[in-house]
Amino acid sequence: MFPLHRGRRLRVNESIRSLVRETTLSPSDFMFPMFVAEGENVKVEIPSMPGIFRRSIDLTVEEVKEIYALGIRAVNIYVKVSENLKDNTGKEAWNKDGLMQQAIRAIKAACPEMIVMPDVALDPYSVYGHDGIIANGDVENDSTVAALVKMAVSHAQAGADFVAPSDMMDGRVLRLREGLDAAGFHNVGIMSYSAKYASAFYGPFRDALDSAPVDTTDIPKDKKTYQMDYANRIEAIKEALSDVKEGADMVMVKPGIAYLDIVREVKNAVHVPVTVYHVSGEYAMIKAAAERGWLDNDKIMMEQLMCIKRAGASLISTYFAKEAAILLNK
C-alpha cells in the first residue's frame, strides 16, 4: 500500500525499466512474409505496402540471406502466379517445377538454416480468387483438401520445413498430416492458420498477389463461408484446439493487432506455439500515417510488435520484420 509501495520506483530510468521488463523482442521472434514473382532481376514495390516488394527468385534469395544475417530465422512464402496458369483445379500449385517449388529449393540451397514456411491455399492459383475449388456455386471443402495435400507434399519435396495452410477448410490439418507422413515427410511441420478471420485488413495483400475473389453472381463474392466471423471469440478457440488435435505443430491467429484478445485466449487454450500474423492492412495504416507525419513509424512499429508478443505470440509474421530487426540490432 502507498506510501510503502511506489510503482514509480521501478520506472525511474531505462536501466531499471529494462531490469523488470516482462516482455522482450528479438529478431528471432519474427517471420518475414515474402512475395515471389516470375523472371530475373525483378523487384516491384507494392503500391499499398511501401517498402514491400515482389521479387524474382534470384533477388528473393539475396533478401533471405540479408535478413538471416539480421537474426530472422523464418520466412513465409507467397507467389504471384501468371494468369495463364490459373484455373479452377489449382493444379499448378503442385507442379514440381512451379514458381513456389523453385523458390523453396533456391532459398534452402542458398540459406539452409532459414526456416521456410510456404503458403498452402489455392487462391493464387484460382481463376476465381478463392482458397479452394468452386463447385455448385460455393467452395467445395473435401476436393479442396485433397488438392491441398498434393500441394503440401510438393512443398515438402522441394525442401519446406513447415507447410502453412491458410485456406480454413474443415479437416485439412488431419489430411495434410496424413499425406505428409504417407510421403515420408514425418519431420515437416504444420503451422495452421487456425483462427483466420474474414477481415478487411487483407486488402493490400490481395493487391500484391492479385488474389481477390472475382465479383460474379454465381459464386461467393467474399470468403465468409470459410474464414471466421470477426464477431466470434469462442469459435477461434475451438478451431485452434481442433487443429492441434489433428496434428498442427503451431497455430496462427490472423489478423494481429486488432485481435489481441483472441491471441491471449488461444495462447491460454493450447500447448503449442502461437503465431500471429501482423497483416498487410495493419502495416499499410502505419506507413500511410507515418508518411503524413501523423505517427512515428519506428515507435508505433515497435509498440505494436511488443504488444503482439505480450499477448502471447511465440512468432510474429510481420512485414516490419526487417525494419524491426535492424532497430533491435542497433
193: its cell numbers? 492458420
Cα separation, 267 vs 253, in Å, equals 10
Tally of CB atoms within 10 A around 202: 21
299 belongs to the catalytic site? no
Q: Which residue has the cell 484478445?
A: 261
Q: Are 272 and 191 in contact (CB under 8 A)?
A: no
Task: Quote the CA–CA distance of 73 and 65 in Å, as a whole number.
Answer: 10
Cβ count near 280 (within 10 Å): 23
Q: What are 142's three cell numbers?
A: 473435401
The C-alpha cell of 305 is what?
510488435
- Residue from 108, 254, 309, 322 carrying the catalytic annotation: 254
Does the annotation place 38 within a ligand binding site? Answer: no
Q: State yes or no: is 254 an active-site residue.
A: yes
Distance CA 137, CA 118 (A): 28
Closest CA to 321 of 115, 30, 54: 30
CA dihedral sign, ordered 109, 115, 121, 124: negative
Exactly one of 80, 86, 108, 196 is catalytic; which is it? 196
Q: Give the residue ranges of the annotated binding site for Mg(2+).
A: 239
Q: Give the residue ranges of the annotated binding site.
A: 239
Residues labelled catalytic = 196, 254
